[in-house]
Chain A
């Protein structure tokens, strides 16, 4: 019998923002997250759906370690976050977790290559970001190597999303968190992006956590979780 390995483990986790909450997240109304038990198996592809204000962003911040739960424990890739200092959580995130946002994924004044190298600098070191490695990853994501020196601000949204994946992959993460990355893409670009993402998950063997309110994307994933099903906290208006 093999031991089950978890990428994400939530155990009696609660989180509430102190009032007033940060302006981008709306007003506090008690707990935002209240998850009794939640586990994601290693190398699974998971789709998390939820309405606006259901606590998706807060959940991602908790998984990344940028927020600490009010109570309960969170383990990511077998590492209990409560045992780590803020600096160590940052380091852990840099080395093991990749993040792709809905938009504004890249630092606009840096080139594509510099954006990717920056992730390596904070993660496993610049040695992992050789030009050859970067070109390889970019090719797999259908990004021509001629784009490497282009400023990120000159790329299309679809190209920026692919560079964001490339940046996430440079540290060979074990967990990739993707937050509504297709909302700014048209349907053909969305399908192409989803295919690339799923291919990458298979090739690089990472756990994929995909957050979106677009339920039509759920079919791409092995598991679909409705946030409202695991989060006992009441709905928060954004």
Chain B
């Protein structure tokens, strides 16, 4: 009965109720979205690379090495020499080694020089290997294997030619217009920066920086089926897989103390944690701002109810006259607040679910962000529980006011 009165009372003040509800819907949606994106971003962040024991590059901060080698964010400070790469590759503790060379781009997408170890050993997510959707790995000097996002956005097919630019800008004045790279493979989507990358051979990347006549000579050698011999100066970084995890710290120390060339070896998991601490402050800030917005919306709800308490003194008097205890008055105001807040939370949950349902594809296509639509989970229920708890506390102000008013005024008749 009280529930029915509360519902009809809310319906009686529909405009004010709808505006308040809209405000709560927006703030709860924001809170749910930020929390979901935070969790998904952390998951997505952690699934970018898997199965790599060490990342080695020129001396810099470990976050910087992780950012440019794994996320293709920022620029390397220096290269590691080819001799050092070979020295590491020959170590008995090293099971496999993937060289990567960065610096060039194609229409805003990073070009990464590597070898076929990349396609054999690089893993992401839960040790998932890279899978070719079409074509082959790097079989020749000027072959290119492109990520799924590159293929989709640039509408590239097998056999299309790629023209590389120096640097990262989408429009570059320094183009290697004579570099004759051809798309030979397209990777399945991974939800990692791999999707946004154009993979070429180290030799091809090195050759792209040579003069037009030198490139023509290389192409001639390829056509003639001759062995193409291109010297590689160095690499940007290396991903290393070990035979035994027991050797991890020993090898890391050995690389960091390598006398012939200064190098930095980092453990991806440790670097991820350090980097996430920086990102974590931002996400906490976002969460805090969302909570503040929610708090202000709930204060709006409290204010709306408080202003109606005075207007509703006759209603309270009638309820008291027919035998309702003052606690019923308290309960009625609380119930109205809780109903409004719960309706708003459920609508917000549905809206966020729909948003991720339809927005997930766009996010993966545009930004390579793979967001799982697992919003209807315990975490969301916990957030709605917290919102309800906060609503109860804030609604205590108008509810107590109504309770006290009903005791003080008794049965007013005018």
Contacts and interface: CB of A to CB of B under 8 A. Distances in A.
Nearest to B324: A122
B278 interface: no
A210 B314 CA distance: 20
Contact of B322 (A61, A99, A102): A99
Contact of A104 (B1, B12, B314, B324): B314
A172 to B, nearest CB: 14
A107 interface: yes
Interface in A96-136: 99, 101-110, 114, 117-119, 121-123, 126
A86 B329 CA distance: 14
Contacts of B323: 90-91, 93-95, 119, 122-123
A94 B1 CA distance: 15
A66 B410 contact: yes
A209 to B, nearest CB: 13
Contacts of A87: 325
A104 B407 CA distance: 18
Contacts of B324: 90, 94, 122
Contact of A179 (B322, B407, B413): B413
Contacts of A121: 1
If over half of A's interface residues share one DSSP class (helix, strand or loop), that class is named, otherwise mixed; here it is helix
Interface string A52-66: 000001001100101
Contacts of B9: 109
A102 B414 contact: yes
Interface residues of B, number: 29
B90 interface: no
A226 B407 CA distance: 28
A64 B318 contact: no
A27 to B, nearest CB: 14
B413 A101 contact: yes
B5 A123 contact: no
Interface string A174-206: 000001100000000000000000000000000
B337 interface: no
A22 B12 contact: no
A24 B412 contact: yes
A110 B413 CA distance: 19
B325 A24 contact: no
Contacts of A61: 410-411
Interface in B157-195: none
B127 interface: no
B213 interface: no
A110 B5 contact: yes
B331 to A, nearest CB: 13
Contacts of B409: 22, 24
Nearest to B9: A109
A230 interface: no
Nearest to A180: B413
A167 interface: yes
Interface string B307-334: 0000001110111111111101000000
Q: Which of B1, B12, B318, B324 counts the most A-chain CB atoms under 10 A from its CB? A: B318
Contact of B5 (A66, A105, A107, A179): A107
B411 A99 contact: yes
Contacts of B319: 107, 118, 122
A67 interface: yes
Contacts of A117: 1
Interface in B377-414: 407-414
A82 to B, nearest CB: 17
A119 B324 CA distance: 9
A106 B315 CA distance: 8
B1 A109 contact: no
Nearest to B13: A109
B411 A119 contact: no
A105 to B, nearest CB: 7
Contacts of B11: 109
B411 A60 contact: yes
Contacts of A104: 314, 317-318, 413
B8 interface: yes
A108 B315 CA distance: 8
B410 A118 contact: no
Nearest to A62: B410
Nearest to B2: A121
B315 A107 contact: yes
A206 to B, nearest CB: 16
A179 to B, nearest CB: 5
B320 A118 contact: no
A180 B4 CA distance: 31
A21 to B, nearest CB: 9
A90 B5 contact: no
Given A109-B11, A114-B4, A122-B319, 6 more contacts: A22-B409, A94-B324, A103-B414, A107-B319, A118-B322, A122-B322
Interchain residue pairs A-B with the least CB separation, the first 5: A94-B323, A109-B12, A104-B314, A101-B413, A122-B323
15 contacts: A22-B408, A24-B313, A57-B410, A60-B411, A64-B321, A64-B411, A86-B325, A90-B325, A94-B322, A107-B5, A110-B5, A117-B1, A119-B322, A121-B1, A122-B324
